[in-house]
Amino acid sequence: MKQMLWALDAQQRRQVLGLYKEAKELAVFVQELEIKIKTSELKEHQLRVDLESRSKSSVSAYVRSKLEDLRDGEMSLNRKLKQTTVETGELRKLLTQREEPLQKLAKQCASIVGLSFAITVLTRLPRELRDNIYDYLWDSKSVDHVEEWISASHEVGRKASSLHHWDPLAPSFADATYIGELFAQEVVTWFFRMIKKPEVDYRAVQAYLEMDTFGSMTFRPRDVIRRLTIKVDWEFSSQRGVAYGDLQKNLESVLSLPVRDDFVVEIFIALVLFPVVELFHVLEVIRPIYRGLVDKGMRVDVLGDRFFAAKWRDRADKKAAPKRTPREMAGLLNDYFDVTTPEEWLLLKETEINQFSHQRRKMKCLQMLDKMRNDMQTSDNSSEQ
């Protein structure tokens, strides 16, 4: 507690200590409620197990004159389960009611302590040391929280409905409500300039680029990010034509981004799409956006399955190799856009494969090439019928 108060004056210290005392009493009650809820949930679980075991009783048990006993027992268990479920629900409502004022007190305390800390950091430390502090503040839990939100951004609306309304997107140390807008802008900018891991679902790219708030302040990640990785992992087919429309609409929104020397767009096709015609359909949707971005002078990498890589390495080699994510293992597909048709791309790949000195690798790659051509031929025959 003493470490929290070092940057506060006497009046602020009295204020924080008063809030702390008030919150401490609420916290004890909340903790007791959480224990009661856990106990009630365990009771619910046991009742469900008992009911399931009764429902699996063999017919012979009924024949042995226990039918009425079993029915009465099952009805009693159902009544207890229903009552316990209601009690658990009431406890959860009560917990929410008690947690909200506790969170309110925590926010008041955080705004007093946080603002004083932020002013001290901004006015007394050079930018290099401030960056070290931001690196420390953005611990793995905070980073995962925001990166998960980015990666699952198309589900945020659905997920948010299950959260208490006082849960912020921004961690408290990055929320202007608690630490002031100057500090918040700097610490959030540092984060979005550093992140490279999260993949934005292709259906959420436009929403992500149009995002203009973070926590309680105005902030646009598009102005500071150095990398935009778009993940395409839907099952594309003629029956799911809306997926192509979503892909095109969201990729077109990337064209509005300004060109920056330190900025790269990655489009990661996360699944192996077979029949391969589906992959070519996706690449054809990407083609005009890719060309538009390249013509603007922007760096663009389209990544996908490494169709012609040495996947047949010895097991010992695979065990020795460090574990990598699917995106790190992906191959560059930019050369697809150097030709005009899928057939030309396959011909280009055949020329490259025939230059391989490793005979086994050449054989495997030519087999893959034949499979891709057969898939295309099958698709063409189906469309003609």
Q: What is the pLDDT of residues 164-200, one digit of tens each?
A: 333 446 887 888 887 889 999 999 999 998 877 778 8
- The yes-or-no verdict on residue 110 having pLDDT over 70 is no
Q: Is the peptide bond before 275 cis (omega within 30 degrees of 0)?
A: yes
Amino acid at 135: D
Question: Between 127-137 and 67-124, two packed helices, what is the crossing angle to 10 degrees?
Answer: 170
- What's the confidence (pLDDT) of residue 20? 61
Exposed, middle or buried, 116 (CB in 10 Å: 0-12/13-18/19+)?
A: buried
- Helices (DSSP H) in 8-66: which residue ranges? 10-55, 59-61
Q: Structure pTM?
A: 0.64
pLDDT band at 43 (very low <50, low <70, confident <90, very high): confident
Q: How confident is the model at residue 267 (pLDDT cuts 50, 70, 90)?
A: very high
Tell me how far apart the terminal alpha carbons of the chain are, to the nearest angstrom.
77
Range 85-93 average pLDDT: 74
SS3 content of the chain, % helix, strand, coil (to 5): 70, 5, 25
More confident residue, 67 or 344: 344
pLDDT at residue 87 greater than cutoff 50: yes
pLDDT tens figures, 312-335: 444 455 555 556 666 766 788 999
- 3-state DSSP call for residue 164? coil
Class of residue 198 by CB neighbours under 10 A (exposed 0-12, middle 13-18, buried 19+): buried
Q: Hey, where are the domains in the chain?
A: 1-57+68-114, 226-385
Q: Which neighbouring-strand residues pair with 22?
A: none
